[in-house]
Structure 1
Amino acid sequence: MEHSISVILPNYNGRSLLLSNLPSIVTALENVECDFEIIVVDDCSADDSVDMLQKEFPFVKVIVNEINQGFSYTCNRGIFSAKNSILCIVNTDVTFTPDYFTNGIRYFDDANVFALKGNIINYQNSIDEVVSIEKTAQLYIKHGFLRFNKKVDYVPNSFTGEIGGQFVLLGCCFLCSREKAIELKGFDEIYSPFYWEDSDIALRALRKGYGLIYEPLCVVYHKASSTIPNFRSSTKIKLVSNRNKFIFSWKFLHGSKQWLNHIFYTLINLSVRWIILDWKYYVAFFNAFTRFLIFKLKLLS
């Protein structure tokens, strides 16, 4: 089957990261005999990312948001602008190994495959300072919330989308079918500006019956904490992450047992968190509730 690739990079103030990592993407693409394009969607950067791209990488297609919109919206502009059959959605802080696409593209001969993830090697200052390697995870419930256990061994054919099944956390780099990404309407923008949207689209795909692939030969290096933490306070990050944890659970919990478990623990937390002055829990819950309600009403209108 003949394939083509569109690489989509959401960018916010990532000039130095683009300069460092774009060449590795180009090299990996040139090692595959297929048509390709690179799209950078700039989320209203304050640095000179756009000018640099036009000067140093004139072959890159640049789309610019007029205002800062967040990860989901920015990626969706790239998804719906791309022209090729396979998408690679990747953060600017990721370095590709030369055979990444060579090892991954063949899986899309299977029409049921939605997305593929490889090994994401997280490092600190240099690629020799490895912090962790992201592989697969297990979906489970604890204290009323859906969560992921990353300390599990990969079990083939175990991606079910159900509690106890394994899961591919798509994270900062993955390949996917453009056709299916559009069918799924891209990332859910309810999670903007960041976090949980990648898990959401993967779980939606699984529960729709599409396949996820884990291929450890597809390797990228990810510089940890080099994007969001550089531009957001730790308080903001925690509030958004906790808000989106509520939203993710509300979207995917099913059955009376799961919901009763969630309601039980949520009511307990709402009753006692004030004792330890955990105001962030209340703000996250309120923000999640109002945002979830607003998005539901938009869908109904």
Structure 2
Amino acid sequence: MITYLKNMSENDEANVYLFGAGVHGREISKSLSLLGIRYKGIFDNAYPNGGENGDISVLPLEVLYNNLDKKNICVIITCQHDDSIRKQLLGYGIKNIIGMRQLAMKYIPQYERLYFKISMAPEVSVLVTAYNGWSYTYACLKSLLENENKCSYEVILGDDCSTDETLYAEEYVEGIQVIHHPDNMQYLRNVNEIAKLAHGKYILLLANDVILNQKGYIDRMLRKMELDENIGILGGKLWVPLKNTYVVGRNFVHVDSLAPVKEDIEQNVEEIMPASIMIKKEVWNRIGGYDEVFLPVYWEDLDLMVKVIREGYKIRYSPEFEATHFHGSSYEANSLGKESYKKNKIIFMERWRDYIENSR
């Protein structure tokens, strides 16, 4: 975060505004002051008529709307309604917007061209899906390239009708396959479609907002998968900087609730967040990938993992694998989120209740 703010301070003409008067806003305010960056104001958000998050109306943005010099306005969003506020700012013609997740990332001053080695017979197919969030996608791909893996792998990027620089990914990255879908696929269908193009024996599902911190991450995952043919899915722990915590493997307590395992113990689990997991392509194909009955989102990953276990394979959590996950920079929750969650929870419970409860 400090690196990002230091680079911001080089632009003395920028009118910096903070949006979000909570804990995060106060922390950013202190950091700005320590760096000698003057900011014009710290705003809070307001709900019209006691409405819910989907109805949010950002009243103080009128101050920014009335500012004629919009090119030199920089807004830092430090509250939870990032997506709603960002849309209104863009509508006002303000484009220099920095979110909390972006502040947590390593600052990249410019998009230098990345060159991946093309493999005609890859051992691993790395699948990355994105809906906008190019700064995260680029950082993800850069960390992958700098990971110094010796195994052969291919990278397939599924662009789900993005409107940002993701549209021009080929201009920034060479040696990967970029699929620009003509229609909005939603996350799980996007994964299913690009998985059909995978040539590797193993698939690495990689969220576009994940950074691989450890050298040889894919090499070591591949080695562990090859040493134990009973592993169907392998994953590690994910550091989520904005929550200051690790996300680890989990086991079912009941059909609709799971509990995390001990962070530092390698073991079989029933669920791993699919932000950075390796799965045998044979197993993926046999199951049929994500079940699209769960469109647009939620519960599809749990359904997949129960099916993997039912096929007789292990889901292995190994803390030796660690990555950073900025969590939610692409496929932001939308108005369909709550309804989709409720609908898909019912589908999952009806499908797997007996199996999960009988296996306790």
1:221-276 deviation digits (Å, cap 9, x = unpaired) = 001332233xx43x532222222211111121127x88xxxxxxxxxxxxxxxxxx
| 1:154 CA displacement | 6.9
TM-score normalised by L of structure 2: 0.61
Separation of aligned partners in 1, 2:139 and 2:342: 32
| 1:208 CA displacement | 1.3
- Residues 87 and 176 of structure 1 are in contact (CA less than 8 Å); yes or no, is this contact kept in structure 2? yes
- Residues 123 and 200 of structure 2 are in contact (CA less than 8 Å); yes or no, is this contact kept in structure 1? yes
- Residues 170 and 202 of structure 1 are in contact (CA less than 8 Å); yes or no, is this contact kept in structure 2? no
- Does 1:105 pair with 2:215? no
1:263 alignment counterpart = none
Separation of aligned partners in 1, 2:266 and 2:231: 15
Separation of aligned partners in 2, 1:195 and 1:62: 25
Distance 1:65 1:153, change over 3 A: same
Separation of aligned partners in 2, 1:71 and 1:152: 29
Separation of aligned partners in 1, 2:280 and 2:326: 26
5+ residue gaps, structure 2, are 1-120
| Structure with greater contact order relative to length (CA < 8 Å, sep ≥ 6) | 1
Query: Which amino acid letter does the alignment assign opposite residue 217 of structure 2?
Result: Y
| SS of the residue 1:204 aligns to | helix
Separation of aligned partners in 1, 2:344 and 2:264: 26
| 1:151 CA displacement | 6.0
Query: Which amino acid letter does the alignment assign opposite residue 155 of structure 2?
Result: I
Separation of aligned partners in 1, 2:337 and 2:251: 24
Once superposed, which parts of structure 1, at least 4 consecutive aligned residues long, lie more than 3 Å away?
151-157
Residue of 155, 177, 185 corresponding to 2:288: 185
1:70-120 deviation digits (Å, cap 9, x = unpaired) = 111100112111101111111111000223223311122122221101011
5+ residue gaps, structure 1, are 125-129, 160-165, 259-301
- Does 1:62 pair with 2:178? yes
2:212 alignment counterpart = 96
Query: Which amino acid letter does the alignment assign opposite residue 170 of structure 1?
Result: M
Separation of aligned partners in 1, 2:151 and 2:217: 14
Separation of aligned partners in 1, 2:122 and 2:233: 14
1:122 alignment counterpart = 240
- Does 1:49 pair with 2:159? no
1:212 alignment counterpart = 315
Residue of 136, 157, 160 corresponding to 1:17: 136
1:118-141 deviation digits (Å, cap 9, x = unpaired) = 0111122xxxxx522111212022
Distance 1:192 1:154, change over 3 A: farther
Separation of aligned partners in 2, 1:123 and 1:193: 27
2:70 alignment counterpart = none
2:341 alignment counterpart = 241
1:287 alignment counterpart = none
| 1:27 CA displacement | 1.9
1:261-292 deviation digits (Å, cap 9, x = unpaired) = xxxxxxxxxxxxxxxxxxxxxxxxxxxxxxxx
**Which deviates the most, 107-116 or 176-185?**
107-116
Identity of aligned residues (%): 22
Query: Which amino acid letter does the alignment assign opposite residue 42 of structure 1?
Result: D
- Residues 100 and 220 of structure 1 are in contact (CA less than 8 Å); yes or no, is this contact kept in structure 2? no
- Residues 50 and 62 of structure 1 are in contact (CA less than 8 Å); yes or no, is this contact kept in structure 2? no
Separation of aligned partners in 1, 2:167 and 2:279: 26
| 1:184 CA displacement | 1.0
| SS of the residue 2:336 aligns to | helix
Separation of aligned partners in 1, 2:250 and 2:182: 37
1:81 alignment counterpart = 197
Query: Which amino acid letter does the alignment assign opposite residue 314 of structure 2?
Result: G
Separation of aligned partners in 1, 2:130 and 2:278: 18
1:149 alignment counterpart = 259
| 1:156 CA displacement | 5.6
Residue of 124, 133, 138 corresponding to 1:5: 124
| SS of the residue 2:240 aligns to | strand
| SS of the residue 1:67 aligns to | coil
Query: Which amino acid letter does the alignment assign opposite residue 103 of structure 1?
Result: R
Paired positions, count: 236
| 1:155 CA displacement | 6.4
Distance 1:194 1:3, change over 3 A: same
- Residues 104 and 215 of structure 1 are in contact (CA less than 8 Å); yes or no, is this contact kept in structure 2? no
Separation of aligned partners in 1, 2:319 and 2:342: 30
Structure whose alpha-carbon radius of gyration is higher: 2
- Does 1:196 pair with 2:299? yes
Separation of aligned partners in 2, 1:82 and 1:101: 16
| 1:194 CA displacement | 1.7
Determine which structure has the larger helix proportion and give its number.
1
Give the alignment's Cα RMSD to 1 decimal: 2.3
